[in-house]
Structure formats: structure tokens, C-alpha cells
Chain A
Amino acid sequence: MSKPKKVITIGGGVAGTEVSSLLAELGYDVTLIEKNSQTGGKLNGWSHLFPTGRPAAQVAEFLQHKVQRNSFKTICQTDVSQVVFGNGSFLVKTSGDERLPADAVVISTGFDIFDATRKEEYGYSVYENVITSVDLENRLKAGAPITTAAGNKPCRIAFIHCVGSRDEKCGNHHCSKVCCVTGVKQATELAKQLPQAEIFCFYMDLRMFGLPYESMYREAQEKYNIQFIRGRLSEAAENADGTLQIKAEDTLSGRPLKMQVDLVVLLVGMVPGKNTAHMADLFELQREPNGFLQTEDPHLFKNRSSRKGVFLAGTCTGPMTVDETLDHARSAALDIHHYLQNK
């Protein structure tokens, strides 16, 4: 048998580790380049996954097992600094001055979380009691009780949907897809932890696309008394006691609405990662108007980029749930396998 063909994966989150494991298992010579000190990506920061409520750590562990079993080369704390295009091959140079040849490249650089300070009117990092869904998830993971900045139990909590998504003013037209159900999940978790608290979700419309999501939403209302208000937040202001005054319009009743709450959770959306943009530049790839990487065909070739030999896996192509990311990574592995076989 001739020497195994070489694949480089850039980005070691959920998609990157999965695609690398599978390709290694198929006998390819895989190298994974990860910019952080550890693989696993943002999954490492999540507490529980919707819709099952399974601890994220269990899924991460499963993926990690696969990585270990297939023992491919992983280079951490490293960026890609340059790419040289050969005839059907690539030479990838890293910030660690390595020069890695490849027959195919997978880009799995993922998404970034929308920077909520860019929506200053919601008061993130100005008011202490305004947090993001990511902050909340991290706190839930740490197991700490959820309190206000002053350490009190919050009596009223507002979740704000579509922060940095579907918002022309932020330059993001797209729906981030996962935040609606994340909001339902987190609101339910808080309702369990703080049964006395009143919880409100301010939404534009609720996108419960997964099979069990609608039941989660119903349960949130019926069992946990979470109130869903259709209306977009216009601004938040702080009262002298640290509570927050939020202004919105209830678009179902058509009335402006003001509410005093103790804690505001911003459901921040997914935006194309800085690294993803960087890869688009290095590999000269087409991007969608919203900045995510363009696939060769939105129906048929969702793992191929606009450049031959460069494949895409996961949220660098658009918002996805963890489960969808795994599916996308697996289909990428298969597509690369076919490509390399016929090369």
C-alpha cells in the first residue's frame, strides 16, 4: 500500500475533532491544528445540552475517547499563518514555523459569540446585572447558585432573544437558530433552581425547529410558568438599587411596555468567527453575505468550499446545534474520503 494521504484539519472544536477522528480511522494521515491550548471548543463551557438535558461533559468525553482511540497528530496553541497552493495539494505554514503538506484541508474554525457590548443599549458590561446566555451557561456549569451582582436571589428575570441576530443595525441578518431553544432550556433551568422567580422571555418569534423543542416550549409555559412576550427590547436602564428597567413594545397587544427586573440574560447569537474570516482570506474562499463560508452547493455539496480540496465542517458555514455539527462533520469525512480515493 502506498503512503497514506495527508489531511489537515484547522480548528479542533466539535466538528474538527470528529472529522479528524473519522478520517484517522479510515487510515489517513491527519493533523489537527488548534489555536487554544485544548481541543473541544465551546462545548467545554456548556453545562447541559438541549433537548435531553444531558451534561455537555458526557458528549465531550465521548468525542475525546474517539480522538484518543485514533491517535492522530494534534498541534495546539498554533495558528495557520500561510498557505501555498500546489497542484491539487497544499502546503500549510503554522505560527510555530512548521510546514505541513496536505492533500486535503478541512476548515472547522467555527463561530464566535456575538459581542454584546456592541449592543450598548442593552447595558452589557455597563450594568452589572445584565449577563449573556454564555455567562449564564458557564455559571450553571460551575454549579454556583444564580444570584444578582449583589448576591441576592433574583425575583424577576428577563431573557432577551435575538441579541446580535436578525438585527440589521448589528450587520447580522441571519437567525442564529439555537438561541431560542437555549433560552427555553436556560429559563427552565432557572425556574427549577429559583421556583419563586418570575421569568419572562422577550422574543420576535420563537423558532422551535427540532422535534422535541416544541414540547420544551410548552412545558416551559405550562409547568414552569415562564411568560413569553412578543416584543423587541429597545433599551435597559439601571435604577439606583441595581435593578433594571427595561423598555420594549409588546407587539401582540401593541402597547409599549416597561418592566423592572433583577437580572437580564441576553441570548447572544452566533457570528462567523474571526478565525473563519482569516481562513477565508488565506485560502481565498467565497463567503456568504453574512460572513459565513460559502458551500459549493447548498443542497448537494454542503461540505465543499469554493476551492477544490478545501472542505468545510461545522459552524464555519452557519449556525448549527451540537448534534447538527456532528452530522456535518461526519458527512465531511465521507466526502473527503471519496475525494481522496478518486484523486
Chain B
Amino acid sequence: METPLFTYPFSIGLMFIVSFLLVVTCIWLAALSKSDRKLILKKIPGPASLKAIGETFMEALLHRKIFRKNPVLGYMHTSLAFGWFLLIVVGHLEAAVHYHTFSFPLWKSIFFRYAEPAPATGFAGHFFATSMDFLLLLILSGVGLAYYKRFNSRAFGMKKTTQLKVGDRIALTALWLIFPLRLIAEGVSAGLHRNGSFLTQPTGNLLAAILPLPLLEKPVWWAYSCALGVFFVAMPVSRYMHIPVEVLLIFLRRYGVRSQKHVNGYTRVQVFSCSRCGICLDSCQMNHANIRNTQSVYVLKQIRGRRLSDEQLFNCLLCGRCQKDCPVGIDLNDIRITQRIESTAEYNSTYDYLKNGPSPQADVVYFAGCMTHLTPSIKKSMQKLLNYAQVNYWFMDEHKAPCCGRPLIQAGQLEAAQKLIANNRDKIMQSGARTLVVSCPICYKVFSEDYKLPNVRVMHHAEYLLELVNQGLLPVHNSPKRVVYHDPCELGRGSGIYDQPRQLLGQYVELITMKHEKEDAFCCGGSLSNIKISMQERDRIRDHVLEEFQQYRPDQVVTACPLCKKTFTKGTEVEVRDLAEIVWESVSQQIIAAQPPVKQLEPEEVPS
């Protein structure tokens, strides 16, 4: 049989998308650093590739993570992606078995029922015909759900769904048409040639009863092929680019490529990997302040379209809740910070007034941080505890020291931050200390990730106090107070420290377990990273969090971040404390209890 004309839209579309993907992949790989490219070349022949294949299967086809988050949504994605994948593979096998070879023109497997009008024979023929119908049915059920979701996203446990642009509309319409058209095309052929199975044959019979099939056969196959072709051509300007690009992302990630502090090929790959599933919309607390256009999915979309406004870019808490939920595993926080660095005119202070005298020698350096200086009770508790445990420490920023640099990085001022970092790093290294203790999770994050302090352990005071307790240097005493522990974003999701604060706290008070804690913890709303939000909007975000705390009727709200403490204190009558304060309160009470009682003077003895 000659190649029918109607297959051309499909073939041209396919050729287009394949060449397009090859070109962009090359461009993106070229935009990686040399070391990244070396890394990839080195790892391609290794186990990383196998793991990437496995992950592609689990995530890009089976969508395991979406399943976990939301089974109905997961089924929709799986039935479409995995169903389509199998349809291609099984279709190909069917053709290969039929022709007894793998070398046949591609169109013959895609349009098999047209190419081979004879009814299926033998076990293999029936098996394949039934399987293909079954797969088509599976996909159609997914398409049906997708229709339903567009009109009723609440049924999926999702409050919002993303808005569509022209490219998306075209691609979406094409995608929605592909499978119904395939059913009709195969149905028409089945009606004419009786080569269908349990789904296509009855469809064909039904159509035969009402329509002049011989006239229709070519046009419906044309329509099917056109839908495929349009889908492929519209793909680069639609969200469906995520289908192939996510695979690339999985491979690059497995090869060890990571986000940098500047936009590179990996950033582009991540941006195009977003499927706009909208899961991140539901995670975002900006909703509580009625801010609904700055969430990650929108930011990625605007980066793609090069239309990102500062308003959107900076109106975000960098709390990381969306990143934790993103099924594609995009580094949403890093992308936003990188983008901020790119879009910010550098603050051009030389900081040459920063001088470094000789640092005193000490075993431990204590860095309270700017925020802790605004919550002096935390600072004071730490000083008392360190003194009590007789730690040989140097309070580095007691009188003056620059900021740790993290807030500048979050605001996009990387170069300025690096000057502060260099200054602080010198001081720490000069002191000869092996441990750096910080009271603020924001500082913790930058000291442990950006400072490069060889042979120095960076510890948040939650970890360090726990160590002192475990070494017996601080007494413990359990009080009957019931408290909730609030995980600060930068310590929890940002640095993965969930257990040490709880272990420490558990020795002093009774800890209540909450619904939203650890990875799912809320942001207090006070985040320094958002420089666009108003105070009233922050308050709404905070009040929402406090409402959850209230449900557990705690005696105290405990956190491990001066900023969280400040934020919550303003919104509640319940006592808000930092871990260090809880420990010091308990230790100081025991010191008092251990002292011999003061002798009471009789009234007449009172010296006048």
C-alpha cells in the first residue's frame, strides 16, 4: 500500500517535534557549566542512567507522586501518560508481529487498523486487538476526567486550576480530540471491515447504522492524523513540553546536576518541566492573604514567556511548601532566588567599612544574628546557658558584626551578600573554633550552605543544646506544660532539621502533635524574603496558622526562630517562646531550687 496522504500531518508534526526537541536539548546542555557537562559524560555509562530510567517510569509515566498526593488526579495523569505510552509500544509490537519484522513504515503501526483492514486472526491477533481497545478505553477514561476537571477542579481536592494561554488551548484541544477521534476512526474502519475488538467494533456497528461509512473513512482518519500533527506542532508553546522535558530533567538530576545561583541550562529544563498540575497552588499560604497570582506555577510560566514582573517574583515567602509538594521535584525556591539575583540591580556598597580585628580564640563561636538581637530574651537565654555549661565561647556579634548575608541573597543581592560572607568567614576561621552555634534558622542555612567553613560544625542552638543535654552539661526537668512546636521554614523544609528540636523539647515539656508539622508545617508569615507583601496580608497568613495552634489549646507555642517568635507574639495571647528560653527557664528554676533557702527574718530582727 502506498503511504496514504492523510498520514502526512502526523508525520510532519512528529518530525517537527523531534527535531525541535533535539535542538533545544543541545542548547540547554550547552548552557550548562563545563563541570556539569563533564559530570554527565562521566555518569552516562553508570548506574545513574538505569536509575533515571526507573524514575522516568515511576514519575513521568506512572506519576507515583501525584498518586500519593491525590489518587484521582494521579489516575488521570497515569491513564493519559502511561496509557498512551503503552498504546504506542503495544501498537508497535502488534505491527511487528503482523509483519514479522521491525522494519516497517512508522505510519503502519500508528494507523494499523486502516493499513490492515482484515479482521484479526489467531490468538496473537485477538490478543493485540483486545489490548489496544483496552488501552484506548483507559486513555479515554483519563480524558473524560480531564474534561471534568477543567469544569470542576474541586472534585480533585484542588481549589484552583491554572489559567490557559493560546498555545495551551490549541494543544489541549488537540489532545482532547486525539483519542475520541481515534475511537471514531477505528470504529468506522471496524464498521466497514469488521476488524475491531470489544470497544471499536460496537462503536463501528453503531456508526454503520446511522452514517454512510464508506464516505467517512478517509475524513475521520484525516482528522485523527491532523489532531496528532497539531498537538506535536503546538507542543513547544504549550505546557505539554513538560512531557519530554521532565524526562531530561530526571536524567540530569540523576547525573548530579544541581541548581546554581545563576540562570543556566538546568534552570531552563526545570522551567519547562512544570506540568502546570497546579498542586503548588494549594500548598501556598499566600492564598490566605488573597494573593493569587504569584505562586510558583505562574512564576515558571512567566519565566518561560519572559514576562515575569517583580511584583510576582518578590511576592513570595520562599517558605518552600510548594517545592515540597511539586510532583516533578522542581527546585522552586532556588529558581526564584536565581531569578531575583538576575533581575536585581546590585546594591553597590563596597562595605569597606567592615574591618576585621583579630578574633579571640575560642572552642565555640556563637552568632546570634540580627533577628535574635531583636528578641533579646533568646539571646540572653543562650548566653546564660553557655555560661552555665561553661562553654569556652566567643559571642561574635555581641556588639557588632555584619548580617549573615542570607536576607540579601533572598532579595537577589548576591554580590553584596558575598562581601558580608567573606568578612564573617574570616572572623570565624581566625577564632580557631570547631563549632559555630547560631540562633536563627536563616543564618543556619547560609552558614551551612554558602560559607564553606572547613572543619567547623555549623549547629543551630536546637542541635547544640541537645548535645549539651546529652553530655549532661544541662539539667533536664519535665514540666507539665503542653506545647506545640512550630517548625521554622529555613530549619525544617530548608535544612531538614525536625527531630533535634523535638527531642530537646520533649525533655522539658509535653509536646503536642499537630496536623501540619514537619514538612507540612506552615510559614509564620513573617518571612524576610517577601518584600512586596503588606503587613495586613502578613497578619492574615499568621492568624491562619495561629488558628490551627489554638485547636490544640497549648499552654505555649514554641519555635526555634526569632522571626517566627516575633511574628506570632504579635498575634496571640498564648505565650510564644523560643527553645532556648524554655531550656533556660527550666535550668534557672533548678538553680534556684538547688540553693539553700534564705533564712526568714523575724519582724523585730529587720534592720532599720
Contacts and interface: CB of A to CB of B under 8 A. Distances in A.
B380 A126 contact: yes
B361 to A, nearest CB: 20
Contact of A121 (B373, B399, B535, B539): B373
Contacts of B539: 171
Main secondary structure of the interface of A (DSSP, over half): mixed
A171 B535 contact: yes
A118 B373 contact: no
Given A126-B380, A238-B380, A171 B375 contact: no
Contacts of B566: 120
Contacts of A120: 374-377, 565-566, 569
Nearest to A274: B573
A136 interface: no
A12 interface: no
A169 interface: yes
A170 B373 contact: no
A117 B573 CA distance: 12
Nearest to B377: A126
B169 interface: no
A171 B377 contact: no
Interface residues of B, number: 14
Given A168-B535, A169-B535, A235 B376 contact: yes
Nearest to A173: B535
Interface string A144-183: 0000000000000000000000001111000000000000
B570 interface: yes
A140 interface: no
Interface string B355-379: 0000000000000000001111101
A117 B375 CA distance: 10
B374 A235 contact: yes
A121 B569 contact: no
B338 to A, nearest CB: 30
B583 to A, nearest CB: 16
Contacts of A169: 535, 570
Contact of A171 (B373, B376, B565, B570): B570
B535 to A, nearest CB: 5
Contacts of B375: 120-121
Nearest to B381: A126
Contacts of B535: 168-169, 171
Contact of A123 (B376, B565, B569, B570): B376
B570 A118 contact: yes
Interface string B522-541: 00000000000001000100
Residue picked from B374, B376, B539, B565, most chain A C-beta under 10 Å: B376
Nearest to B534: A168
A283 interface: no
Contacts of A127: 376
Interface in A108-147: 117-118, 120-121, 123, 126-127
Nearest to A125: B377
Contacts of A238: 376, 380
A126 B539 CA distance: 25
A261 interface: no
Interface in A229-274: 235-238, 245
Contact of A236 (B376, B399, B565, B570): B376
A316 B377 CA distance: 33
Interface in B513-559: 535, 539
Contacts of A118: 569-570
A170 B377 contact: no
A237 B376 contact: yes
B569 A126 contact: no
Contacts of B380: 126, 238
B593 to A, nearest CB: 22
A37 to B, nearest CB: 23
Contacts of B399: 245
B570 A121 contact: no
B199 to A, nearest CB: 63
Nearest to B535: A168
Nearest to B380: A126
Interface string B558-580: 00000001100110000000000
Nearest to B373: A235
B570 A170 contact: yes
B349 to A, nearest CB: 14
B515 to A, nearest CB: 27
Contacts of A126: 376-377, 380
Contacts of B569: 117-118, 120
Contacts of A121: 373-376
Nearest to A167: B535
Interface of B: 373-377, 379-380, 399, 535, 539, 565-566, 569-570
Given A117-B569, A168-B535, 18 more contacts: A118-B569, A120-B374, A120-B375, A120-B376, A120-B377, A120-B565, A120-B569, A121-B373, A121-B374, A121-B375, A123-B376, A126-B376, A126-B377, A169-B570, A171-B539, A171-B570, A235-B373, A237-B376
29 contacts: A117-B569, A118-B569, A118-B570, A120-B375, A120-B376, A120-B377, A120-B566, A120-B569, A121-B374, A121-B375, A121-B376, A123-B376, A126-B376, A126-B377, A126-B380, A127-B376, A168-B535, A169-B535, A169-B570, A170-B570, A171-B535, A171-B539, A171-B570, A235-B373, A235-B376, A237-B373, A238-B376, A238-B380, A245-B399
* Top 8 A-B pairs, shortest CB-CB distance: A121-B374, A126-B377, A168-B535, A126-B376, A120-B375, A123-B376, A235-B373, A235-B374
